[in-house]
Each structure stands twice: as C-alpha cells, then as structure tokens.
Amino acid sequence: MDMSGLKRLPSLPHAIEFTVTDDGPGIPERFRERVFGMFQTLKPRDEVEGSGMGLAIVKKLIEIQGGKIWLTEGQAGQGLSVHFTWPYSKRESTNVIDGKFAAG
C-alpha cells in the first residue's frame, strides 16, 4: 500500500493528514466549500448520477472524530486534492511509526 499521502503533523502530534489526489476536471476554488453541503452537485441533477451527499457525509464523519477536511488544486494544476486529518489516541500511536502504519 502506498503511504506517500500520509504525514504526521508536528502541530497536531496525535493526528495524521491524508491526501487523496486525482487528475480529473477538479473543482473550481469558488465551489470548494459548497460541495460539502448536503445534496450539492456542480451540475444540474439530470446530468449527474450521484445524490450530492458524499462529501457532506464524509465531512460530518471526519468532524465528529475531531478532524478537518479541505480541498485544493491537484498536482501540476490538474485535478483535485482532498486533504483530511484523522486524530488518534496515544494508545493508537504505537501503531504509527514515522507517519506510516505498522502492521498489527
């Protein structure tokens, strides 16, 4: 499993930042907060298959756990990068070594 998108944050010693990047059309900056709203899509309903609930649910789950989620432009100006932090307890930190998950 490629763990290059994970990093331990010095400012948040008990959180890991995940980054997922694609090379699709991206989301213009002016719409990036809007897409976290329930039933929000960037195209008319008859042009999309989704319900517009996915990112709203993901954001709620991350925030319930004490994390944050945000969007940025993808690599080399293409696509989209989704970043989120996921807190973990001191007990769980024994399974995290140098920003990578240990087996077990």
* For residues 19-44, average pLDDT: 90
Whether the model pTM is above 0.85: no
Asked if the structure places residue 104 within a domain, the reply is no
For residue 6, pLDDT over 90 is answered with: no
Whether 52 maps to a domain, the answer reads yes
Residue 101 lies in a domain: no
Structural domain contains residue 102: no
| Within a domain: 53 | yes
Triad 66, 20, 55: Cα angle to 5° = 55
- 55: domain CATH number is 3.30.565.10
pLDDT computed for residue 1 by the predictor: 43
Nearest residue to 68 via CA among 84, 57, 80, 56: 84
Domains contained in the chain, number: 1
Higher pLDDT, 39 or 10: 39
What is the domain extent for residue 49?
A: 6-95
* Residue 45 in domain: yes
Residue-wise pLDDT tens digits, 41-91: 888 878 888 888 999 999 999 999 999 999 999 888 789 999 999 987 766
30 in a structural domain = yes
Note the helical H segments in the chain: 54-64
